[in-house]
Amino acid sequence: MAEFTMELNEDQKQVRDWIHGFAADVIRPAAAEWDEREETPWPVIQEAAKVGIYSLDFYAQQFFDPTGLGVPMAMEELFWGDAGIALSIVGTGLAAIGVVANGTEEQIGTWIPQMYGTPDDVKVAAFCSSEPDAGSDVGAMRTRAVYDQAKDEWVLNGTKTWATNGGIANVHIVVAVVDPELGTKGHASFIVPPATPGLSQGQKFKKHGIRASHTAEVVLEDVRVPGACLLGGKEKLDERLARARERAAAGGGERVKNAAMATFEASRPAVGAMAVGTARAAYEVALDYAKTRTQFGRPIIDNQGVAFQLADMRTQIDAARLLVWRASWMAVAGRPFTAAEGSMSKLYASEVAKKVTAQAVQILGGNGFTREYPVERMHRDAAIYTIFEGTSEIQRLVIARTISGMPIR
């Protein structure tokens, strides 16, 4: 029988320590400045590129870790450094994964390098899916892609929102409707090359947290892209649409929908790991503060009211990490999420991040409410985890539907 272990192997420990060192030495010292500036931290991204963290090769190595722990381990350490800067570093990966998962070998070889650029000339990419009226409800998407057969071009029109790196990206990946009658099954993804006419940045959002990460609307007005920019190619799209129409006619649409939801489910542990990183960072600040801050002649951690909070914080962080690791291992091992374990990990870790960062602010008292201490920023950053990649309410809905088998609304 194979030995059961929850210990990272030596290679994983080396990678973890390497990333942690970068987060401690490069990301964390720059966090407050870029949060205040609310700008993309290009110098930090460039440093990440120089050491090899900002690259497709790095994410590929973590993704193909046979234990499944490579990605959550990397996310936790980067977001321990700072959530806003870390999201600027990993945001391109969302678009890159979209190309790797759905694109042809030629598309991967052509566009991935243009997403990252070089260490001397770094670029970023954007994945554009959400819309003003289509966030959790992806079926309400309105951005259209119409094929111009005479020119072998696709014409895109619509507005995307909440796009990380939207408008400043070298390459945009845009999800659009190609067959409205098929609902979510009639969607396809397109590569919008650099400097394509008709694509522009709309509103840039001034956010509560993760302010070092650029978030904006992307406006598409008669954007024409070559037929070769349809991810996977038109032949593959036509075959997929034909199967979807056949299933819809046979009453099998719900099965296809659930398969799509399972794809989203598999990506959620990575967000849970981000939340764990932020929670852990806030807990460590609070613990150090409680051991050194004295009131009434003794450290405040001597008071049960503080000590018990820290005990709960650590317990909840470790529990959240274990849920993330379980889901990540299940995904790489091909184990089905029969109880929506991916959503469980994201839901719990997100809620823990909000709670732990709030407790950290409370433990620091008035100091925690100032920008002189990082827990104030961490508390603001933590709010995003219960919102993006599916809100906590959506996670609970997914879990409830999965464990009950009922169409809960």
217 is catalytic: no
Cα angle for residues 187, 197, 143 (degrees, 5° grid): 25
Q: What is the pLDDT of residue 2?
A: 53
To 5 degrees, how large is the angle CA 38–CA 39–CA 45? 130
Using alpha carbons only, what angle is made at residue 15 by residues 112 and 341, rounded to the nearest 5 degrees? 75
Residue 108 token pair: 């991967």
Q: In this predicted model, which residue has the larger pLDDT, 349 or 258?
A: 349
Q: What phi and psi, each to the nearest 5 degrees, are found at residue 175? A: -90, 130
Q: Is the pLDDT of residue 257 over 90?
A: no
Question: Using CA atoms, how far apart are residues 247 and 255, in angstroms rounded to an integer?
Answer: 9
Mean pLDDT of the chain: 93
What local confidence, expressed as pLDDT, does residue 265 receive? Answer: 58
CA distance 138 to 129: 8
* Cα dihedral: 268, 269, 274, 276 (round 10): 130
How far apart, in Å, are the Cα atoms of 262 and each of 91, 179, 192, 273, 341? 22, 22, 27, 19, 11
User: What pLDDT does 109 receive?
Assistant: 95
Choose between 93 and 223: higher pLDDT: 223
Q: Positive or negative, the Cα torsion across 260, 261, 265, 267?
A: positive
pTM score, whole prediction: 0.94
The pLDDT of residue 219: 98
In order, the DSSP letters of 369-386 are: GSTTSTHHHHHHHHGGGG
66 CB neighbour count, 10 Å cutoff: 9
Task: For residues 268 and 347, give the distance between their C-alpha atoms in angstroms, rounded to a whole number.
Answer: 9
Structure tokens at 335: 């184990």
Strands (E), 227-376: 294-295, 298-299
Q: Which amino acid is at 338?
A: T
Residue 255: predicted pLDDT: 46
* Placement of tokens 């450094």 in the chain: 81
pLDDT of residue 140: 85
Active site residue: 76, 217, 265, 389, which one? 389
